[in-house]
Amino acid sequence: MNVQTWTYILVGITFSLYIGIAIWSRASSTKDFYVAGGGVSPLANGMATAADWMSAASFISMSGIIAFAGYDGSVYLMGWTGGYVLLALLLAPYLRKFGKFTVPDFIGDRYYSKTARIVAVFCALIVSFTYVAGQMRGVGVVFSRFLEVDINTGVIIGMIIVLFYAVLGGMKGITYTQVAQYCVLIFAFMVPAIFISIQMTGNPIPQLGMGSTLNDGSGTYLLDKLNGLSTELGFSEYTDGSKKMIDVFAITLALMVGTAGLPHVIVRFFTVKRVKDARKSAGLALLLIAILYTTAPAVAVFSKTNLINTVSNQPYAHMPKWFKNWENTGLLTFTDINNDGKIQFLADKGKNELIVDNDIMVLANPEIANLPAWVIALVAAGGLAAALSTAAGLLLVISSSVSHDLIKKVFRPKISEKGELWAARISATFAVVIAGYFGVNPPGFVAAVVALAFGMAAASFFPAILLGIFYKKMNKEGAITGMVVGISLMLFYILKFKFGVFDGGKEAVEGLKASWWFGISPEGFGTMAMIVNFIVAIAVNKLTPEPPEEVQEIVEHIRIPSGAEEPSIH
């Protein structure tokens, strides 16, 4: 069977599994819809959290970034992994003990203010829609290549699938669907990595294969080979970094604290029974995530080496079928600048004849290595599982922010449970449509878009949540002002330096790099906006009245170690 047939079979089986789980676990109450009834086991929640967090950016795009950025791409590994340590230690147990459905719910009650709740909802929507744009693009990329439909059609198919199990099952359906999606995506990521590691180095463990010698008898280390290939083409060595240290630090920190402030990740810790289960879930998720994250650099090295060996200085007319297939998607393009009929990465300084979209490297990797058709199709199913799992979690955050935090808590406090459930489902439907639009018109490749979402979460939520837990005298005036200033500063910086809104449009973006404030990229500026948020929040707090005594007592209570009475979710 060919790749497309295998893809239809594997994608059909996995999609049927997701839909079947959604029907089996459909939500019958708001508690089921928002937090899966609060009775998910730590292992299931850890797997669901891992799938929720390992989005299309992790599965599809991260290895692609590392493949082309080399050493500089390690900031994504360090930031996204380190964030889970922060989440497990600083936030998850305390937020779970507070006993609220959503992050805006926590902020609204902790800061005793409808205004704080509305600001938090706005931030949650901005972060979630930015993040979901990357997921829908990932879905479109997979469909456009493996099911041979255009990206727009692929996005629409993904929208329909997500809409079905997110709207029907809510958090309960999403949780158990994500357990299945974790199994699919980790199997799909590891199988080709193991195949290629054996093929190139004879070592079945990709993490070790990356640092091993090639099995061609030359005694050359794989990384030395890739460094040599890179310099031959006029690039710097793969293992050298070019980013400024301050930008590396800023991006890493923004991704770390952004992880700890992401609404769709935090809400997962409200689905377990006890506070200690929240901490267990975070630990298990970190272990499950590490399987993919420690393999990603190896996949990057394998794919980059195979790509260069296959196409560099080779006649365009002799390219294998996979090259033509990806060319048809528009994500790989060849322009014969010197008209010699050969593919060259660097024909003239600053001009590449071959332009490769970062997002195709993981998906094309098994094809480049000439692996069996079923392995290639498996990677497609895994990419879809990664994108859809996170998209579903984000859509639930969006719908619950509208139905629970705005409609029930602000505009219609007396709405019935059935009415609130319908409002959540209608909100999710509108959210899917908007997410689809962003998938068709993405602001960049997957991981870059997702990095911006992390930066916005760092700039808005992290200070408010951290101060809300550990500083009992933090008041509503400080928190609200800090969030508004933080998210506004981050949005301004993104519009200016990512889209060139104030300086001539996207065509001017490349020239604006020299003007980055403190030499920090838009992906890393969340760190600076977060620091400003902290400073503004604390300064305003000192100039305004202390929070009520009962609020300070609540803050004291949520920091009491496990063993005291824990409030039920309400």
CATH label of the domain that carries residue 255: 1.20.1730.10
487 within domain boundaries? no
76 within domain boundaries? yes
pLDDT at 564: 47
For residue 359, pLDDT over 60 is answered with yes
For residue 443, pLDDT over 70 is answered with no
Nearest to 182 by CA among 281, 50, 287, 280: 50
pLDDT at 544: 94
Confidence of residue 521 (pLDDT cuts 50, 70, 90): confident
Of residues 26 and 549, more confidently modeled:
549
Tokens standing for residue 352: 């590449």
Per-residue pLDDT, averaged over 213-230, amounts to 85
340 within domain boundaries? yes
pLDDT at 570: 47
Helix and strand element counts for the chain (H, E)? 23, 2
Lowest mean pLDDT across 122-131, 248-257, 334-343, 435-444 = 435-444
Confidence of residue 487 (pLDDT cuts 50, 70, 90): very high
Which residues touch 422 (CB under 8 Å, ≥6 apart)?
Answer: none
Confidence of residue 508 (pLDDT cuts 50, 70, 90): low
520 within domain boundaries? no
Of residues 509 and 570, more confidently modeled:
509
Sign (positive or negative) of CA dihedral 307, 309, 314, 317: negative
Burial class (CB in 10 A: 0-12, 13-18, 19+), 319: middle
Residues 84 and 256: their CA atoms lie apart, in Å, by 7
pLDDT at 484: 96
Confidence of residue 415 (pLDDT cuts 50, 70, 90): confident
Mean pLDDT of the chain, nearest integer = 80
For residue 214, pLDDT over 80 is answered with yes
Regarding pTM above 0.85, the answer is no
363 within domain boundaries? yes
Q: Could you tell me whether strands 332-334 and 354-356 are parallel, antiparallel, or unpaired per DSSP bridges? A: antiparallel
Give per-residue pLDDT as tens, 189-199: 899 999 999 99
Of residues 236 and 420, more confidently modeled:
420
**Contact call for residues 93 and 278 (beta carbons, < 8 A):** yes
255 within domain boundaries? yes
Nearest to 434 by CA among 404, 402, 482: 402
User: What residues make up the domain containing 120?
Assistant: 3-450
Give per-residue pLDDT as tens, 110-132: 998 889 989 988 888 888 877 77
Confidence of residue 507 (pLDDT cuts 50, 70, 90): low
Per-residue pLDDT, averaged over 87-102, amounts to 73
9 within domain boundaries? yes
3 state DSSP class of 315: strand
For residue 388, pLDDT over 80 is answered with no
Of residues 408 and 275, more confidently modeled:
408
Residues 58 and 447: their CA atoms lie apart, in Å, by 7
Residues 73 and 464: their CA atoms lie apart, in Å, by 29
Residues β-bridged to residue 354: 334
pLDDT at 467: 92
For residue 350, pLDDT over 70 is answered with no
pLDDT at 542: 94
- The tally of domains found in the chain comes to 1
Which residues touch 227 (CB under 8 Å, ≥6 apart)?
Answer: 237, 238, 239
Per-residue pLDDT, averaged over 307-334, amounts to 83
For residue 39, pLDDT over 70 is answered with no
pLDDT at 167: 65
302 within domain boundaries? yes
Per-residue pLDDT, averaged over 558-562, amounts to 65
pLDDT at 35: 56
Lowest mean pLDDT across 15-29, 311-325, 354-368, 403-417 = 15-29
pLDDT at 79: 83
**Percent of the chain with pLDDT strictly greater than 70:** 88
Nearest to 206 by CA among 306, 300, 68, 75: 300
Of residues 380 and 261, more confidently modeled:
380
Nearest to 58 by CA among 250, 297, 229: 297
For residue 313, pLDDT over 50 is answered with yes
